[in-house]
Structure formats: C-alpha cells, structure tokens
Amino acid sequence: IRYQRGPGKAVGMKIAVFAYQDIGYECLKFLIETDEKIVAVVTHEDDPNEEIWFRSVADLAREYRLPVYTPASPNIESFINLMRNHSPDLIFSFYYRRLLSKELLSISPMGGINLHGSLLPKYRGRCPVNWVLINGESETGVTLHDMVEKADAGDILAQKRVTIDLDDTAFSLARKITSAGVQLLKETWPMIKSGSVRKIHQDSVLARTFGGRRPEDGEVHWNQSAMAIYNLIRAVTHPYPGAFTHYDGRKIYLWSARLDPSGGDLNGVDPGTIEAVVEQGGLLVITGLGRLILRKAQVEGGTEISASELLSGQGVTLGSRFGKRSL
C-alpha cells in the first residue's frame, strides 16, 4: 500500500474528495501527497459516448486503496448517510459534475470548497473553458470558493489568472487551467487548514452564468465574422465534438482553422463561399466579415484530412458554398 504515514506522524484532517477529469486527478494526487486522511473519493462512471482524454480519478484512488464511490446522484439519502458515516471535516469538489446539496455539505464542519475553471463571478456554470474561447476572451483563470446551494456563487477563497493565447484550443487551455488549479490549491491549502483564508464575497451583479453545450451547438454560421467562427472551431475541436458545416446535405467537421491576415475586399461574395486553395492544404472561405483559412476537416463517416482534400474525391468545388443542408 503506497498511502502510508511515517512513524509517529499525526493524522491530518479527514477529507471527502468529489473529483473528475485531469484537474480532479491532479488535485487528488496533491492531497494524497500532503498525507491528509482522505476518507472517500467520489467520481463518475465514464460515459461511453464521451471521448475520454483525461486520467482516471477512480484509478488513482484505487492505487492508494482509498474508498471510491460513483453514485448516479450524490444527494440521495442513502449516499448522504454513507458520507455521514465517513465523518469528513472538509469536502472538496474538483470538476465533479453534479451540485452537492445543502444536506450533504452540512455533514462537514468546514463545509465544502469547489475549484471552478474561471475567474468568478465571470463564467459561472458549465463548460467555462469552451465558453471563454467562444467569446474571444484573452484571460481566464481558476477560483477556489465556498460551496453553497447555488452553483459557483459562494465566497471566493483565492484565484489565479491564466492568459489565453490566440492559438489556444480547448485542449491546450484545459491543460493551462489544470496546472493553475493545482498550483492554486497548493498555495492556498495551508491557509485553508489553519482557517486563515480571507474570503471575498462575490458580486452577483457581475455574474454571468453559462449552460452546458450540446454537439449541435457547434454548427458554423458563415454570416458571422472570421474571428467568431475561428473561436468556435478552436473551442470545440478535439477532444470535444467539433464545429461543423454542411455541403450538399453532408455534414463536414472543421477541426482546425486560422485567420487570414491578408484582408482585402470581399466584393459582395456570399458568406460560406470557398474562394481558393492556399498553402499547406488550406481552403480560403468567405465569412460575414473577413476570410478564414480552414486547415483540417472531415466528412461525417470519413477520416480527418487537410481541408484542400475536400476538393479531391469529396465533390467540393471552388466557388461553391458551405452551409447547404440539402441538394
């Protein structure tokens, strides 16, 4: 058993950890390494319809012989009683996907602390990494906050800022968020233990809450600007379901793009028009404002290819338009 304490070492506070995804894995790993007593790890069964690109919280917990639970709901009475039997001093939530009820949080004398992937009160709710990219933000961050009945609304314990680069995708930004989140936990943990954290009340006037995203929300609307379409593509590319358009009734996924820096008059050409082949297998497409260079694409049911390969064997022609749902 790797989870051990040295001779004469005092047992730390008892913690119940609700966690998922890479950020949950890394935060749980840190708490294990601090030698606190983790009395329960609560996570999710992986969804077979979801691309699982992150490490398993359950596997990490089992490696250290920690009790692992995957309830369909953490808020049913039987599970709350089970947690009550573990008597945690503190509950942590790291990218766990369900809200914890007031009754569940009340079993812990220190309540619950959540790690959220934005600079609260901005981007409360679901999918903050995707939403900040879609909205073209240049900065985001992570927040440790008290858990209350309303999602992401509790007092702020600490925050760390993360710069968003123009070439960041949801995957690369998620990696940045994970790194920042673990670092924030490491910096704040001594103050949490000692009760010396100076909390900041959230200003609800500044709050904006976002919902979850569905695969169908990835449809490209070519009358939008090149920047808006580029932001959508990078926000939902791998490992997410992907942005898509249509061409003569076929669905085409757009996995990678870049902005066209050349500018120039659009000459009244309809948005979605495929204008030219450019270097490195790209396709130049007219948008509602500016041009976009598509780099990687995939006809539904096919394999991912360079965008220019849509012209060879896929029936796409220069001068035609994306966005047609039927022949």
Residue 324 pLDDT grade (very low, low, confident, very high; cuts 50, 70, 90): low
pLDDT in tens, 28-68: 999 999 988 999 999 999 888 777 888 999 999 999 999 99
Residue 326 pLDDT > 60, yes or no? no
Cα dihedral angle (45, 48, 54, 56), rounded to 10 degrees?
30
Alpha carbon distance, N-terminus to C-terminus of the chain: 63
| Confidence at residue 35, expressed as pLDDT on a 0 to 100 scale | 86
Average of per-residue pLDDT across 172-184: 98
Q: What is the average pLDDT across 250-274?
A: 90
Tell me, what's the pLDDT at 12? 67
CA atoms within 13 A on the CB side of 206: 7
Question: CA of 173: how far to CAs of 94, 105, 166, 181, in Å?
Answer: 17, 30, 11, 12
- Find out whether 239 and 171 touch, Cβ atoms under 8 Å: yes
How do beta strands 90-94 and 14-19 pair? parallel
**Who wins on pLDDT, 256 or 8?**
256
Check pLDDT > 60 for residue 3: no
Please state whether 268 falls in left (phi above 0), alpha (psi between -120 and 50) or beta: left
Banded pLDDT at 263 (limits 50, 70, 90): confident
Q: In terms of pLDDT, which residue wins out, 311 or 266? A: 311
Average pLDDT of 106-122? 97
pLDDT digits (tens, 9 = 90+) for 183-239: 999 999 999 999 899 999 999 889 999 998 989 999 999 999 999 999 999 999 999
Sign of the C-alpha dihedral computed for residues 105, 110, 115 and 118 taken in this order? positive
Average pLDDT over residues 304-321: 92
* Side-chain half-sphere exposure of 69, counting CA atoms within 13 A: 20
Q: What is the pLDDT of residue 201?
A: 95
